[in-house]
Amino acid sequence: MHFKTVAIVGRYQDSGLDAPLRRLANTLQNAGCDVLVEAETGHNMNIQEHTLASYEDIGARADLAIILGGDGTMLGAARRLATSNVPLIGINHGRLGFITDIPLDGTDDAIASLLSGQYEQDERNLLEGRVMRGDEQMYSGLAVNDVIINRAGRGSMIELRVEFNGIFMHSQRADGLIIATPTGSTAYALSANGPILHPQARALVLVPVAPQTLSNRPIVLPDDGVLNITISALGRVESGASVHFDMQTWSDCQAGDRVDVRRSPYQVRFLHPTGYSYFSTLRSKLNWNRMPQPSDGTE
């Protein structure tokens, strides 16, 4: 038995998740595993037949965490468990599913293989960032996908000054700026025309969001440096800006605030069934394997 204690985290807001989550818990229990259900998941789904545990308990006790939901559920669990180094498996009960890669109808076979030790390990880097106002730290957080600085609400463009390792790169006026990990390169950064980075690339990508000057383009940087992004101006007086660490938001930015971003010392460990291919995931999710069809029946 490679994983004696297994935790389950579910997107409890999904009405159709109750049955597959309970079935998964019973499958694990029948395989000889001690099952923990994340407390908020358990309370909201009225699970009383299995032990409920906080993220702190899961980090201390679990050998494996299975995330049942979409990529957003995985991101939240990954941040909470990153410091404990618990490996994660993602079962897709969402829509796109780049990092929750096991289809729901393939759960039984995938779990059986993983419990018997047939799996591949995939380590992903995280970002850590902080919002500084002078010498005072206003907010800090971890991000699996990205750190995003953007204008708040209907405010006008914001002006950002970007430095890398203390060297001035550029200033730009835009709706925002995305700093993404390779994992996050297929998220918001991709929709803003950023490049796709392979998960094992030791890099991060900066992608401007709707820049005023079209020559402001995405740029890939090594991930062993430090980015300092200063909010130089917020446009109109009533405008504002926000910083997002994946789904965690600090929305009280002021002109002069600085956002420092670097690679976190922690990593997330994803486990996949044997035979997993990142390129297969891209082909499936981005329809790379679909040949264009002639509209009039001719070549």
Is the pLDDT confidence value at 60 over 70? yes
* All residues at 6 or more sequence positions from 80 whose CB lies less than 8 Å from its CB, including other chains: 55, 59
Is the pLDDT confidence value at 298 over 60? no
Give the model's pLDDT for residue 284. Answer: 84
Lowest mean pLDDT, pick from 71-80, 104-113, 284-293: 284-293
* All residues at 6 or more sequence positions from 154 whose CB lies less than 8 Å from its CB, including other chains: none
Share of the chain above pLDDT 70, in %: 92
Q: Under a CB-based contact definition with an 8 Å cutoff, are residues 210 and 171 in contact? A: no
Tokens 């299975």 belong to which residue? 66
Q: Identify the residue with better confidence: 254 or 235.
A: 254
Is 135 known to be catalytic?
no
Active-site residue identified among 71, 246, 257, 260: 71
Q: What pTM was computed for the model?
A: 0.90
Give the model's pLDDT for residue 5. Answer: 97
Model confidence at 138, in pLDDT bands (50, 70, 90)? very high
Write down all domains in the chain, each with its CATH number in brackets. 5-117 (3.40.50.10330), 126-265 (2.60.200.30)
C-alpha span between 253 and 237 (Å, rounded): 13
Query: Is residue 61 packed enough to be buried (19+ CB in 10 Å), middle (13-18) or exposed (0-12)?
Result: middle
Angular region, 39: left φ>0, alpha ψ -120 to 50, beta rest: alpha
Calculate helix-pair angle for 107-115, 18-30, nearest 10 degrees. Answer: 30
DSSP reduced 3-state for 55: helix
Is the pLDDT confidence value at 291 over 80? no
pLDDT digits (tens, 9 = 90+) for 76-109: 999 999 999 999 999 998 666 788 889 888 899 9
Give the model's pLDDT for residue 98. Answer: 86
Mean pLDDT calculated for residue range 199-221: 94
Cα 35 from chain centre:
25
C-alpha span between 275 and 102 (Å, rounded): 12
Token pair recorded at residue 178: 């995305």
Sign of the four-CA dihedral 186, 188, 189, 192: positive
Is the pLDDT confidence value at 262 over 90? yes
Token pair recorded at residue 184: 């996050």
C-alpha span between 198 and 290 (Å, rounded): 21
C-alpha span between 44 and 187 (Å, rounded): 28
Helices and strands per DSSP (H, E), number in the chain: 7, 18
Token pair recorded at residue 75: 């991101």
C-alpha span between 208 and 206 (Å, rounded): 7
Distances from the Cα of 246 to the Cαs of 90, 116, 126, 128, 184, in angstroms?
Answer: 17, 33, 11, 11, 9
| Residue in 235, 77, 229, 91 with CA at minimum distance from that of residue 155 | 235
